[in-house]
Amino acid sequence: MRWIWIDTFVEFVSGERAAAVKNVTMAEEYFRDHFPGYPVMPPCLMIEGMAQTAGILVGEVRRFQENVILAKIRLADLQAYARPGDRIRYETTLDSFDDRAAVTSGTVLMNGKNIGRIDLIFSYVNNAERSVDLPDHNFVFTEQFQHLLASARLLESSENRKSNED
């Protein structure tokens, strides 16, 4: 199971807001267990999709030079669950940030319909506050994310546009 829960960015305004989409397909591994006869995407993975969308928006403010870690899920409220064939869109805005943390709020849309809200806080990792020793290099924004970062950068300098499929 990979750990990439968005497929591409469809909107990206640096320091302000972003939107990314994820297709849900029967080919995804977790459907085998979750659940046989009733495939439904684990809600925590929808939270992760929003976290990746917002985390990249936050990271880009510092040109991805700093590690950005999910510090708090303020609220994740989901009114519906995703099934194979559904298309999820994560829309998020950067509400506030300083040199230690950033606050984002976001809406989850499924097949064009608003199905929930996910509000997060990220921290730019502070070595002093955790017991696990941190590596001294950037471990978050690695090559694994390059294709996603590329799709974000492509949109960064262009006008805002919504994906036509939505």
* Residues acting as catalytic residues: 34
Site string for another protein, 90-109 (x = CB under 8 A): -----xx-x-xx-x------
Length of the chain equals: 166
Among 57, 88, 94, 121, binds another protein (CB under 8 A): 121
Per CB under 8 A, 147 contacts another protein: no
Please report, as residue ranges, which positions from 30 to 49 form the binding site for another protein (by CB under 8 A): 30, 32-38, 40, 42-45, 47-48
Piece of the chain touching another protein by CB under 8 A; list 14-22, 29-37, 83-91, 154-162: 29-37
Among 130, 147, 153, 162, binds another protein (CB under 8 A): 130
Per CB under 8 A, 110 contacts another protein: no
Looking at the Cβ atoms of 2 and 63, the one nearer to another protein is: 2
Among 4, 13, 61, 109, binds another protein (CB under 8 A): 4
The string of DSSP letters for the chain reads: -------EEEEEETTTEEEEEEE--TTSGGGGTS-TTS----HHHHHHHHHHHHHHHHHHHTTT-S-EEEEEEEEEEESS---TT-EEEEEEEEEEE-SSEEEEEEEEEETTEEEEEEEEEEEE--GGG-SSPPPSS--SS-GGGHHHHHHHHHHHTSPP---TT-
